[in-house]
Structure 1
Amino acid sequence: MPIRVLFWNVGDELWSIGSMVQEIKRVDADLVALVEAESYLSTEQEFWKNTFPGYRFQTGKNGFMLLSRLPTTASEYGNFGRMGRYLKINLKADVSQSGASSISEAFVVYLVDINSDILRSRKEALQKLAEEVAQEKENPVLIVGDFNTPGDSVHFNPLRKLCRNSFEQAGEGYNATWPLPLPVLDLDAIWVNSFFQVSSSENRWTWYSDHRPVVADLLLQTTPASGKPAD
């Protein structure tokens, strides 16, 4: 099943909520994951339900917001000590089989927000994230977030053993995401394990936050690229 994913750090509310909503609608993603959305969370839930019919709307502590066309089966929060936090979400999607049949396949999403503290290393946080993902290695895993760490950092090495950066796999153009209007660092990203094929990846240009929205088109499979069958 093709799945379009949008991740966006909307922390600096440079324009109105209406502008942010317009950008999300333009992308038309199946899964929208936002961090630092505290300034939008005070808006009545009825607004989100009316604005995005067909989506399940979920908010939580730490400024996380999720809009999903796919069924959510469970969610839980975790942290990286002093260096950030994550929301783990279990979702389901229909996966095409041979012929016209399809099955419902569960997959795991980690919505990540790592702190920007310049006095602390991101190494421990990214190591802990890799350890979390390793526990799900038999399942499809999608990681979206603001890592506050450039993509070429050695601190990503443990995660690279398990997952791929979608922009590195299928992106085109300039990959830096922060700070607008002249981004110089690729801090925001979408990562996937081998159960996902990356069809395309794009870092979009907007004026509605100091971070660029990150978009990826993915194909969920029942077997990983290595050919190992899923449990």
Structure 2
Amino acid sequence: MRTQTTWRTVLTVLAYSYVVGLFGWALLYNIVGDSWWWLFLINSLAIYLFLPLLLLPIIILVTRHHVLWLGFGVGSLLWLSFYGFFLPHTPPVRAEGRTLSVMTYNLLRHNLDTPEILDAIRAADADVVALQELNGTTAAAITNDLRGEYPYQLLEPGADTSGMGIISRYPLQSITDMNLTKGLPDGWVGPPQLVEVMFFKTRVTLLNVHAQSTNLGYGGNVRLNPANIEESVRIREEQMHALLEVVAQRPGPLLLVGDLNTGYPSRAYDIIAEVLHDAWHEAGQGAGHTFPGAALPGSSRPRVFGIPLPQWLIRIDYIFYSDHWQALDARIGPWDEQSDHRPVVAELMLLTR
């Protein structure tokens, strides 16, 4: 009898502590965002904070502390406010307009398995493909082997992680207006590509970005440097604000895609989502996690005591779009099994006005 009472007491204390902790996290996130390094890490994995919520009804029945139902209810509302898009939803009613499919894919600069990369791009069958960490070997293969499917190519390979590229079935043209790009800060993993896609008779602005990363060991054992983490968060938020300044100067149809190196929820994400729409939130199903993937040499998949963390913990690759579009579908694209990212593909309809 005493043992049962002890266990009930322990469960009760744990349950109340969990509810208070969950509410405390939500309050801190809304007040300070990612300003503290440890809070940034928690925010990046916030989806997992809600897993114990599934056990709360059982604990309530065992402990008979019915006031915890209030905590369960409010916790469920919190989950819905952050992750309600996980729930199955009917496809959006199709408006009138032409459809454009877009893919973003961080290839991993050390990835030299070009046949698998090309197969993944072909299988995705997107009209426009934005690439990050594009190396020279892959760029040459794309030029030689995909010119028929993607006749319009703007490839800027790099010897390090800075390589960027866009290939398209529709005409592409770089936007060289320095007034648009002069305000972009430093710190990008790869320099943003700003282009126009001639989609039938409509000029579509496309931004392909690879934002500041947070160094947690870059494929080795996790190493936490609080100052560096907080600095990377600050730089990334500055980059998001700068991107919106570019967006504000391009009033027509616009797409912003790429590896933002920030999870959901995060302040960097919120900055973009205040103006643009997240295709995954609007038309995707499930978590849509894109990182970390393969644990090959050069991968950023973290390790703990030499053991790689589980795959696909967070979502850091995005397709955002302006009000001129409607998202019809968003999905994880074919993976080449070599990159530490998975691609994201979205089907977007350009609305007639």
Q: Name the CA shift for 1:22/1:205 in 2 (closer, same or farther; >3 Å).
A: closer
Q: Where do 4+ consecutive residues of structure 1 move more than 6 Å?
A: none
Per the TM alignment, residue 213 of structure 1 is displaced from its structure 2 partner at its CA by: 0.6
Query: Which amino acid is the alignment partner of residue 237 of structure 2?
Result: K
Change (3 A) 1:73 1:191: same
For residues 185-204 of structure 1, the C-alpha deviation after alignment (integer angstroms, 9 at most, x for no partner) is 11101000110110000123
Aligned residues between the structures: 212
The aligned counterpart of 2:270 is 157
Partner of 1:21: 118
Does 2:210 correspond to 1:81? no
Compared with structure 1, are the counterparts of its residues 49 and 215 closer, same or farther at alpha carbon in structure 2 (3 Å cutoff)? closer
TM-score, scaled to structure 1 = 0.83
Identity over aligned pairs, percent: 24
Equivalents in 2 of 1:59, 1:40: separation in Å?
12
- Map of 2:248 onto structure 1: 134
- What's the counterpart of residue 144 of structure 1? 257
Matching residue's letter, 1:131: E
Any gaps of 5 or more consecutive residues in structure 2? 1-97, 216-227, 295-310
Normalising by the residue count of structure 2, what TM-score does the alignment of the two structures yield? Answer: 0.56
Structure 1 or 2, whichever has the larger Rg, is 2
Please report how far the alpha carbon of residue 29 of structure 1 lies from its aligned counterpart in structure 2 after TM superposition: 0.8
Structure 1 residue 39: Cα displacement: 4.3
Deviations 1:152-194 (A, max 9, x none): 2122333222101100110012311100151111110100011
- Please say if 1:197 is aligned against 2:331: no
Kindly state the Cα deviation for residue 13 of structure 1 after the two structures are TM-superposed: 4.3
CA distance in 2, matches of 1:82, 1:148: 12
- TM superposition shift of 1:126: 1.1
Point out where structure 1 has 5 or more consecutive residues left out of the alignment: 95-103, 224-231
Considering fraction of residues, name the structure with more strand.
1
Instruction: Report what 1:217 is aligned to.
Output: 347
Closer, same or farther: CA 171–73 of 1 in aligned 2, 3 Å:
same
Structure 1 residues 34 and 54, CA, compared in 2 at 3 Å: closer, same or farther? closer
**Greater fraction of residues in helix:** 2
1:97-130 CA-to-partner distances (Å, cap 9, x unmatched) read xxxxxxx111100000112134222211111112
Q: Does residue 36 in structure 1 map to residue 136 in structure 2?
A: no
Q: In the alignment, which of 99, 102, 108 is matched to residue 11 of structure 1? A: 108
Q: Structure 1 residues 23 and 46 mapped into 2: Cα distance closer, same or farther (>3 Å)?
A: closer
**Deviation of 1:4 (Å):** 0.8
Q: Which moved more, 1:115-124 or 1:169-178?
A: 115-124
CA RMSD after TM alignment: 2.2
